[in-house]
Structure 1
Amino acid sequence: MKITTSAAPTLAALATALLLAAAPAAQASTGPGVAWQAAAADADIDRYFVRAKAEKKPVLLYWGAKWCPPCNQLKATLFNRADFIEQSKAFVAVGIDGDAPGAQKLGTRFKVRGYPTLILFNPNGSEITRLPGEADAAQVMKVLQLGLSSGRPVKAVLADARAGKKLSANEWRLLGFYGWETDEQQLLPAEQRPATLAQLAKASEGVDAETTSRLWLKSVGAMAEGKAADPAQLPRLRAVLADPVQAHAQMDVLTNEAPDLVKAFAPQPGDARNALVTEFDAALKRLNADATLSRADRLNALQGRVDLARLDTPRDDPNPKGIPAALLAEARDQAGRANREITDGYERQAVVTEAAHLLGSAGLWKDSDELLKSALARSHSPYYLMSQLGGNAKKQGRKADALHWYEEAFNKSEGPATRLQWGSNYFAALVELAPADTARIEKTAAQLFAEAEKDPGAFYERSERSLKKVATLLADWNKTPAQAAAVGRLKAQLDGVCGKLDAGDAKARSACQGLMKKA
Structure 2
Amino acid sequence: MKTLSATAVMFVTLLCAAAPGMALGAAQSKPGTAAAAAAADGIGWYDGDVDAAFAFAKAHNKPLFLYWGATWCPPCNQVKATIFNRQGFIERSRFFVPVHIDGDSAGAQKLGERFKVRGYPTMILFKPDGTEITRLPGEVDADRYLQTLTLGISANRPVKQTLQAALSGGKLSADEWRLLAYYSWDTDEQQLVGGKELAPALNKLAAACPPGDSANRLALSALVAAATKGGDAAAGVDKTAAAARLTKAVSDVHTARENMDILTNYPAELVQLATVPKSPSRTKLIAAWNSAVQRLSGDSTLSKTDRLGALAAQVSLARIDTPDGALAPALLKDVRQRVAQADSATTDAYERQSVINAGAHALSDAGLLDDSDSLLKAELKRSHAPYYFMLSLASNAKKRGDKSGAVNWYEQAYQAAQGPATRLQWGVAYLSGLLELAPQDEGRIEKVAHGVLQELGGTQNAFYERNRSVLERLGQKLNAWNGDGKHQAVLARLRQQLDTVCGKLPAADAQRATCQGLLSPTRV
1:272 is aligned to 281
* Structure 1 residues 32 and 301: alpha-carbon distance in aligned structure 2, compared to 1, 3 A threshold: closer
RMSD: 1.9
Equivalent residue in structure 1 for 2:114, among 97, 109, 112: 109
Shift, 1:481, TM fit: 7.2
Question: 1:193 aligned to 2:198?
Answer: yes
Q: What is the one-letter code of the residue matched to 2:270?
A: L
Shift, 1:26, TM fit: 8.9
Shift, 1:479, TM fit: 5.5
Question: 1:331 aligned to 2:340?
Answer: no
* Structure 1 residues 498 and 232: alpha-carbon distance in aligned structure 2, compared to 1, 3 A threshold: closer
Q: Please give the secondary structure, in 1, of the residue aligned with 2:84.
A: coil
2:411 is aligned to 407
Deviations 1:48-67 (A, max 9, x none): 11111110011111110000
Distance 2:52 2:474 in 1: 36
* Structure 1 residues 324 and 32: alpha-carbon distance in aligned structure 2, compared to 1, 3 A threshold: closer
Distance 2:290 2:41 in 1: 43
Deviations 1:8-40 (A, max 9, x none): xxxxxxxxxxxxxxxx9994353251101015x
1:514 is aligned to 517
Distance 1:165 1:481 in 2: 58
Shift, 1:364, TM fit: 1.0
Shift, 1:88, TM fit: 0.8
Question: 1:217 aligned to 2:220?
Answer: yes
Equivalent residue in structure 2 for 1:38, among 23, 37, 47: 47
Deviations 1:193-231 (A, max 9, x none): 11111111111124xx11111001111235444624351
Shift, 1:483, TM fit: 2.2
1:92 is aligned to 97
* Structure 1 residues 481 and 83: alpha-carbon distance in aligned structure 2, compared to 1, 3 A threshold: closer
Shift, 1:517, TM fit: 1.6
Distance 2:101 2:156 in 1: 22
1:299 is aligned to 308
1:139 is aligned to 144
Equivalent residue in structure 2 for 1:243, among 237, 241, 252: 252
The answer (yes or no) to whether the contact 2:476–2:519 under 8 Å persists in 1 is: no
Distance 1:403 1:135 in 2: 35
Normalising by the residue count of structure 1, what TM-score does the alignment of the two structures yield? 0.90
Normalising by the residue count of structure 2, what TM-score does the alignment of the two structures yield? 0.89
Shift, 1:289, TM fit: 0.9
The answer (yes or no) to whether the contact 2:271–2:285 under 8 Å persists in 1 is: yes
The answer (yes or no) to whether the contact 2:243–2:285 under 8 Å persists in 1 is: no
2:8 is aligned to none
Distance 2:411 2:126 in 1: 40
Distance 2:425 2:399 in 1: 20
Shift, 1:235, TM fit: 3.9
Q: What is the one-letter code of the residue matched to 1:293?
A: L
The answer (yes or no) to whether the contact 2:502–2:515 under 8 Å persists in 1 is: yes
* Structure 1 residues 204 and 450: alpha-carbon distance in aligned structure 2, compared to 1, 3 A threshold: same
Structure 2 matches for 1:377-392, cutoff 5 A?
377-392=381-396
Structure 2 matches for 1:42-57, cutoff 5 A?
44-57=49-62
* Structure 1 residues 115 and 136: alpha-carbon distance in aligned structure 2, compared to 1, 3 A threshold: same
Structure 2 matches for 1:246-261, cutoff 5 A?
246-261=255-270
Shift, 1:322, TM fit: 4.0
**Runs of 4 or more above 6 Å deviation:** none
Q: What is the one-letter code of the residue matched to 1:500?
A: K
1:3 is aligned to none
The answer (yes or no) to whether the contact 1:384–1:409 under 8 Å persists in 2 is: yes
Question: 1:148 aligned to 2:153?
Answer: yes
2:481 is aligned to 477
Fraction of identical pairs, as percent = 49
Structure 2 matches for 1:10-49, cutoff 5 A?
27-28=35-36, 29-31=38-40, 33-39=42-48, 44-49=49-54
Q: What is the one-letter code of the residue matched to 2:80?
A: K
Q: What is the one-letter code of the residue matched to 1:325?
A: P
Shift, 1:161, TM fit: 0.4
Gaps of 5+ in 2: 1-31
Structure 2 matches for 1:62-73, cutoff 5 A?
62-73=67-78
Deviations 1:110-156 (A, max 9, x none): 11110000111111111111111111222221221122112411110
Q: What is the one-letter code of the residue matched to 1:281?
A: N
Shift, 1:234, TM fit: 3.9
The answer (yes or no) to whether the contact 1:309–1:322 under 8 Å persists in 2 is: no
Distance 2:83 2:42 in 1: 10
The answer (yes or no) to whether the contact 2:75–2:354 under 8 Å persists in 1 is: yes
Q: Please give the secondary structure, in 2, of the residue aligned with 1:37.
A: coil
Question: 1:431 aligned to 2:418?
Answer: no
340-349 or 407-416, which deviates more: 340-349
Distance 1:133 1:151 in 2: 23
Question: 1:205 aligned to 2:214?
Answer: no
Gaps of 5+ in 1: 1-23, 315-319
The answer (yes or no) to whether the contact 1:111–1:184 under 8 Å persists in 2 is: yes
Distance 1:412 1:242 in 2: 46
Q: Which has the higher contact order (CA 8 A, sep 6+)?
A: 1
Q: What is the one-letter code of the residue matched to 1:173?
A: R
Q: Please give the secondary structure, in 2, of the residue aligned with 1:423.
A: helix
2:499 is aligned to 495
1:121 is aligned to 126
* Structure 1 residues 243 and 496: alpha-carbon distance in aligned structure 2, compared to 1, 3 A threshold: same
1:286 is aligned to 295
1:58 is aligned to 63
Distance 1:32 1:472 in 2: 43
Deviations 1:281-340 (A, max 9, x none): 0111111111111111111111111100000245xxxxx214211111111111122222
Distance 1:264 1:473 in 2: 30
Q: What is the one-letter code of the residue matched to 1:514?
A: G
Q: Please give the secondary structure, in 2, of the residue aligned with 1:447.
A: helix
